[in-house]
Structures are given as C-alpha cells and as structure tokens.
C-alpha cells in the first residue's frame, strides 16, 4: 500500500468528519443552532482536524524514521567482518543493499550476504508499510471518534479550532525562520572549516586573490585568499550602479508621484516595473554583447582604453536593473507624505518645486535613504550581471575602465566544475558567502530600521 | 435658552464693529460657480468680504462653504476636476485673471487648515519657511524678528520661545494649530482663510484660538468656515449661510442669529436640520 493511498484515505475520513461533526453538533443542540457555543461548522472543523492532523503527523514521522531503523536492523544482521568495516565503506555496502532491495540494481560482484540482507530489508519494509497503514488509520479513526464524542452544547469548538490554526501559522512562519538559521549555520560551519586551513587574518586583510587549483596545489602551495580585491570590486561596481540608479530612480519617482497625470502614471509605472521583472541573466548578456562593446568603441573614439568587461559596463547595467527598485520604493514613500503638508506649503504661496524640494523630499528623506540601502544590498549580492560583464581578474584598481571581479563571481567560480569539498579552494566560497551575507544583512536591518522610524512619524 | 444668552453677548461684541461708519470691501465674488466634474458644487454666489472683519461661513456639511473658501486663494487649482467660473476679486483685481500669479495671490491670502499641519521641521523652520521662499527677509536677524513677531501674534511665543529648535510636530494640538496661524501670518498676508480651525481642538484650545482670531482682525481680514454656530456668533461680525451650494443669506452676525430673513437660515440656526 502506497503512502499516497494512506494519505488519501485519511483525507476522505477527515472530510467525512467535517460532515459528521457538524450534524452531530446540530443533533446535540436539538436543531437549535443558537444553543451551541460555536457555529456548527466549527464542530465539523474540529472533528476534521482531530482526524487528519495526528494521522498525518504519524505518517510524516514514520516515513522519516523508517529507513534509518530498517538500516540499523539490517546492519546488525550483517556478517561480523562487514560490520567491522570503516564507516564510509560500511555505508557503501548498505547503499548497495538498498539499491538491490528497492531498485533491483544488482551489484557488480554478488555476494550471498548481500542478497540475504536485501531480502531481509525488503521484507522488513513490507511489514513496516502495513504497520504504518494500520497505525495511521487507527490514529485517524481514534481522532475521529474521540473528537465526535467530545461534542457537547458547551464545548468550545471555535476556540479549539482557532488555537490549532494559530499553531499552524506559527509552524509556517518558523519554517521560514528556521531555513534562514539553517543556511547561516551551514555557511558558518563550512567557513569554520575554511578558517581552520587559512588564517582569518590572511582572508580578511589579504591583498592578493590567487587560490590556485585544488588538484594542482602542492602541500606547500595552498594559494592566497585575500578578500580585499574582491571586496573592492564588489563595492566599486555597486558604487557605479548606485550612481546610475539613485538619481534616475529618484527623479523618475518624483515625476511619477508629483507631476505626472493619472493616465501617464497608470501606463508608465508598470512599464518601469517591468525592468525589475527582466531576469538578471538577460541583463548579463545585454551587458556582455551590447553595452560592453559599445563602451569600448566609444572609449576608442576618445582614445580611452576601455576593456569590454569593465567596472563601468557592469555598474551601468546593474544600475539600470535597480532603477525600478529605487523608483518604486521612493514613489511609495513620497506618496505617503500627507497631502496636508503639501497644502500647507501651497497655502503659504510656495511653488510646486519649492514644495517638493523643501517639504516633500525632506519629509520622505529617511524612507528614501532606506530604499537606497535596500538597493545597495541588492547590488552587492547581484551575481549574473557581474559574472558576465565584470570580468574574472581580481584586481585592485581605481580605474573604472578596467575589469575587476566580485565576491559573487568568485563564489560561482569556486563552486562550479569538478571539485572536492574539503579543499580551501572550494571552502573559501562559503567564507565569501558568509561575509556577503553579513554585509547585506547589516544593510537590510539598517534600512528597515530607518524606514520604520519614518513610518512612525505619520501614523 | 443657552442660545439666547450667546446671542446677547454676540450682539454686544458685534455692535461695536458694525457701528463703524465705513468699511472697505476686501474681497468680492460675483456669480461664482464651481463644478467638481459633473457636480455643481456652488451656484452663483455673490458676496462681499469686509476688510478687518471676521466673516464666518456656516452651513451643513457639503453645502459648499469650504469650496468657496478654497476659491478665495485658488487652493482648488490643485484639484484637477474642479472648475471655477465667475468673478472673484481681491482689492478690485480679478484673482482668476491670467496676469495673476497664484503664488503671489497665496502670499496675500493665507490659509489655516482644519487639521493642524506643521511641517516635520523645527518650530523656527516652520515659521521662516514662507518668508524664505518669498524673500521677505535678508539675514538671520530679520528672520529671528519675523519668528518672534509671528509667534507673539499667534499667542505662542511664551510657550515655545525656549524650544524654537524642537520639532513642530511635538507640540499639542492647540499649539500646533496656533503654530500654523503663526506660519500663515509670517508672510504678512492681507487675508487669512481658516477652514474649521478648531474642529480638532478641545474647548480650552478652541478658546485660545478664538481669542486670537478676535485680536488678528485688527490687522487682517479673516474668513472662517465653521460647523459650530456658537463659534460663528462669538468670533464673527458678518455671517454667510450656505445651503446645497447656494449662498442663502449674508448679513451682520447679530442679524443672522436673531432675525434671519430666510426660512432655511432660521431652520439651520435653530437646529431643525443640518
């Protein structure tokens, strides 16, 4: 019997419980809905939840635990010399047995103990499956009848159902939070492995990025992992991007919210926001095949040597990408400035531009700064554009026409291709990721704090 | 009974100013019509507003009194669907004429709004905002003088003189409204329009503002929209009653409240509707 069948059966029982709970409640109340503590539907929901939830929990736990338990049981029956093998070899043997048992993939050298273990495993699995079906249905039926029995006129079904729903919501939100925690923890652990091999001092303050190839490096040649050139590249490109995005985004937001007629606004705003919907990889090859060569040719006219992958090229493209981010957020913030402040200014004989410069923008400034910080953290973490348009050479240069590389580019470079996960050459990616994460997290927290402070002023 | 007592008091106050032999017409409207899209909000309004007097606009909600007030400094210009026609004059000059700059008009006809709306800046900055944009002062000293004069004029100086650099939004509701009045008089307007200036204030703050209005009329022409008939009776010399977009009756305040000519006015002031 398949898990999906059990799942379906429980679901059907639960839907049935809905009906039964409702009619039971009405019967208990003698057909007088007003006599019940809660509306009849809540009693139905109560029975449905009591039927489904515990059964699903059992199902979930069972499927999670079963393979481990069976594996442990099978391992205990293996010949002693196999059990004495080292951990990684033992797990290889167990994988072979599993493959033979569940997927019928025969090992290259069949051994009698493998076949018998596989048979044992298959039998255990079959038994466990039936047991699971039985237990699940028993739990579902138990929930069904127990909850039905609890229905009385005074029973507070609404409160119970609402408590369960609230618990569900808490579970959902903690999944999001726990995922973040999990990601941070995994990066932290891998970074610690990295720092065990490379000194944090060399990483954070090193001026040279030259990791070498994992395989080619000899024991005395571990390569150099200086963060500074990558950090510089990241900041330089983000700076250029902000130089493009902030003025354009802000001015377009001011135009949209203060000057544009409702018709134009209605048409233009979604168009501007389409920019945000373009996949970054499209921006990337736009930069690579259009902007880069164009810049190089323009530079040649003026006698400038602009590399076709340059800070300027990546920064310009990234700036265009985050324009809608800046303009959309700023637009919302400018619109949140109360009309009464504008009226006050107009009432004193101020012109529209005076009102915008001296009343609206100062009032919106904290929010706009917050929006820009969010945009910066977006720019720092941007990968695809810089992979394609910024180059791969880690250089410490202040020349915007030269190519540089960023932390995100190097994360991609270190983690693609054939690699072993215990060399500093790959582990450095996690250290880079963690550093980037800490920076963007700091910026986001700062930005949100600023935006929130600004909101409080008018509410 | 309550009403009658207010009336006699008003008569005493109103008598002194209406007995003045001459008065000048500061602003006037002839055949003023206002349309909000398809809605005919004001129908052929004729009115004279006398200099250095307080004129009160009363009437039930939606009667057009605020709309007319906002015509007087062209605040309705900011609303796209609003169309104003007819003749509106300030000192015999058509304020809707093309040669009139709305910015200069609003410097001469200031406005105080229903909800106190100080800028989220310091008290000092709030006052100097208008004088700065109109170039009324050169140098810090002149600005300081304007700030003190305006705040004294609004009866707020003693309360805030030690904290001029604190935010204007940190003041109490009544103080904020007086700050807005101070801000309006800082640009030395000739007329001050007040759109229900006390509707969000408690009785004590209201009394403060009403006293202030009475003092201000010696220097400025004041037009006030109010829902509160006692307030109209207390502070104004002339009262105009609007109903359904029509100016029903306009007369000395004492006459309006004691001897209205129109049935509708009678009905409104005695509380039969509105």
Give residue-wise pLDDT tens across range A379-400.
998 888 888 888 888 888 888 8
pLDDT of res. B27: 92
Instruction: For chain B, say whether A346 makes contact (Cβ under 8 Å).
Output: yes
| Closest chain B residue to the Cα of A353, Cα to Cα | B133
Distance in angstroms (rounded) separating the CA atoms of residues B140 and B124: 11
pLDDT at A215 over 80: no
| Domain ranges across chain B | 2-269
The reply to whether residue A350 touches residue B130, judged by beta carbons under 8 angstroms, is yes
Chain B partners of A350 at a C-beta cutoff of 8 Å? 103, 129-130, 133
pLDDT of res. B12: 42
| Closest chain A residue to the Cα of B131, Cα to Cα | A348
Beta-carbon contacts of residue A223 (< 8 Å; ≥ 6 apart): A210, A211, A212, A217, A424, A425
A168-194: average pLDDT: 93
ipTM > 0.95, yes or no:
no
What's the Cα-to-Cα distance from B16 to each of B20, B57, B222, rounded to whole Å?
7, 21, 17
Taking all residues of chain A, what is their mean pLDDT, rounded to a whole number? 87
Higher pLDDT, A161 or A104: A161
Kindly give the parts of chain B with pLDDT less than 70.
1-21, 273-274
Instruction: For chain A, say whether B168 makes contact (Cβ under 8 Å).
Output: no
Distance in angstroms (rounded) separating the CA atoms of residues A119 and A138: 29
Residue A398 backbone phi and psi in degrees, to 5: -100, 5
Beta-carbon contacts of residue A452 (< 8 Å; ≥ 6 apart): none
pLDDT at A15 over 90: yes
Listed range (A229-238, A246-255, B200-209) with the worst mean pLDDT: B200-209
Nearest CA to A36 out of A121, A156, A131 is that of: A156
Quickly list DSSP for A274-322.
HHHHS-HHHHHHHIIIIIHHHHHHHHHHTT----SS-HHHHHHHHHHHH
| Domain ranges across chain A | 3-155, 224-458
Nearest CA to B126 out of B141, B110, B147 is that of: B147
Instruction: For chain B, say whether A359 makes contact (Cβ under 8 Å).
Output: yes
Chain B partners of A343 at a C-beta cutoff of 8 Å? 75, 78, 111, 113, 117
Give residue-wise pLDDT tens across range A334-347.
988 888 999 999 99
Residue appearing with tokens 């309550």: B2
Residue A224 backbone phi and psi in degrees, to 5: -115, 135
pLDDT at A201 over 50: yes
Look up the CATH superfamily of B2-269: P-loop containing nucleotide triphosphate hydrolases (3.40.50.300)
Distance in angstroms (rounded) separating the CA atoms of residues B227 and A385: 62
Give residue-wise pLDDT tens across range A122-141.
888 889 888 999 999 999 99
pLDDT at A458 over 70: no
Distance in angstroms (rounded) separating the CA atoms of residues A126 and A102: 11
Beta-carbon contacts of residue B68 (< 8 Å; ≥ 6 apart): B29, B32, B34, B42, B45, B47, B57, B242, B247
Phi-psi map region of B139: left, alpha, beta (phi>0 left; psi -120 to 50 alpha): left
The shortest CB-CB distance from A343 to any of B113, B118, B169 is to B113
Distance in angstroms (rounded) separating the CA atoms of residues A451 and A459: 13
Query: For the domain bounded by A224-458, which CATH number is listed?
Result: 1.10.3720.10
The reply to whether residue B119 touches residue A341, judged by beta carbons under 8 angstroms, is yes
């Amino acid at each position: 019997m398949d898990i999906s069948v059990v799942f379906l059966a429980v679901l059907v029982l639960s839907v049935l419980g809905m009906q039964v709970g409702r009619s039971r409640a009405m019967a208990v109340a003698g057909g007088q809905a007003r006599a019940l503590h809660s509306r009849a539907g809540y009693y139905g929901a109560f029975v449905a939840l009591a039927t489904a939830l515990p059964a699903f929990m059992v199902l979930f736990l069972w499927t999670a635990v079963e393979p481990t338990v069976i594996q442990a049981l099978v391992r205990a029956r293996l010949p002693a010399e196999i059990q004495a093998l080292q951990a990684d070899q033992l797990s290889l043997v167990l994988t072979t047995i599993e493959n033979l048992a569940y997927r019928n993939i025969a090992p290259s050298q069949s051994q009698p103990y493998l076949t018998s273990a596989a048979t044992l495993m298959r039998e255990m699995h079959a038994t466990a499956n039936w047991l699971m079906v039985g237990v699940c249905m028993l739990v579902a039926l138990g929930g069904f009848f127990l909850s039905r029995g609890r229905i009385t006129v005074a029973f507070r079904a609404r409160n119970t159902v609402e408590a369960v729903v609230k618990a569900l919501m808490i579970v959902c939100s903690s999944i999001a939070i726990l995922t973040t925690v999990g990601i941070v923890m995994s990066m932290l652990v891998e970074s610690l492995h990295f720092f065990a091999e490379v000194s944090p001092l060399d990483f954070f303050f090193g001026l040279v990025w030259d990791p070498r190839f994992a395989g080619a490096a000899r024991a005395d040649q571990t390569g150099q992992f200086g963060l500074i050139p990558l950090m510089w590249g990241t900041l330089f490109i983000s700076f250029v991007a902000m130089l493009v995005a902030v003025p354009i985004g802000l001015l377009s937001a001011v135009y949209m919210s203060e000057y544009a007629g409702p018709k134009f606004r209605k048409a233009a705003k979604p168009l501007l926001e389409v920019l945000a919907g373009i996949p970054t990889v499209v921006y990337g090859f736009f930069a690579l095949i259009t902007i880069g060569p164009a810049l190089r040719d323009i530079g040649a006219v003026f006698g400038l040597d602009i590399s076709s992958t340059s800070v300027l090229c990546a920064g310009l493209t990234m700036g265009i990408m985050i324009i809608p981010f800046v303009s959309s957020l700023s637009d919302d913030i400018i619109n949140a400035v109360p009309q009464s402040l504008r009226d006050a200014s107009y009432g004193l004989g101020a012109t529209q531009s005076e009102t915008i410069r001296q009343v609206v923008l100062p009032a919106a400034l904290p929010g706009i700064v917050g929006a820009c910080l969010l945009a910066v953290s977006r720019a720092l973490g941007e990968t695809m554009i810089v992979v394609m348009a910024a180059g791969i050479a880690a250089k410490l240069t202040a020349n915007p026409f030269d190519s540089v590389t960023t932390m995100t580019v190097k994360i991609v470079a270190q983690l693609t291709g054939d690699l072993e996960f215990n060399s500093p050459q790959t582990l450095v990616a996690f250290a880079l990721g963690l550093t980037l994460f800490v920076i963007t997290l700091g910026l986001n927290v700062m930005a949100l704090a600023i935006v929130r402070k600004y909101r409080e002023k008018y509410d | 009974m309550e009403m009658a007592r207010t009336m006699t008091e008003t008569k005493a106050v109103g008598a002194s100013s209406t007995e003045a032999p001459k008065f000048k017409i500061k602003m006037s409207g002839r055949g003023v019509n206002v349309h909000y899209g398809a809605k005919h909000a004001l129908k052929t309004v004729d009115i004279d507003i006398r200099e250095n007097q307080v004129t009160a606009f009363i009437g039930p909600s939606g009667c057009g009194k605020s709309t007319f007030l906002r015509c007087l400094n062209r605040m309705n210009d900011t609303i796209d669907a609003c169309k104003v026609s007819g003749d509106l004059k300030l000192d015999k000059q058509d304020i809707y004429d093309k040669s009139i700059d709305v910015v200069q008009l609003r410097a001469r006809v200031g406005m105080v709004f229903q909800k106190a709306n100080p800028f989220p800046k310091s008290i000092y900055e709030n006052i100097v905002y208008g004088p700065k944009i109109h170039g009324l002062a050169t140098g810090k000293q002149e600005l300081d003088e304007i700030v003190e004069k305006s705040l004294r004029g609004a009866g707020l100086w003693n309360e805030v003189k030690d904290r001029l650099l604190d935010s204007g939004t940190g003041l109490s509701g009544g103080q904020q409204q007086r700050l807005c009045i101070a801000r309006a008089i800082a640009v030395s307007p000739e007329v001050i329009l007040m759109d229900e200036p006390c509707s969000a204030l408690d009785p004590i703050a209201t009394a403060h503002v009403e006293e202030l209005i009475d003092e201000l009329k010696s220097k400025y022409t004041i037009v006030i929209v109010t829902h509160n008939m006692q307030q109209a009776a207390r502070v104004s010399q002339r009262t105009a009653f609007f109903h359904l977009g029509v100016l029903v009756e306009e007369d000395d305040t004492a006459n309006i409240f004691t001897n209205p000519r129109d049935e509708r006015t009678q009905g409104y002031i005695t509380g039969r509707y509105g």
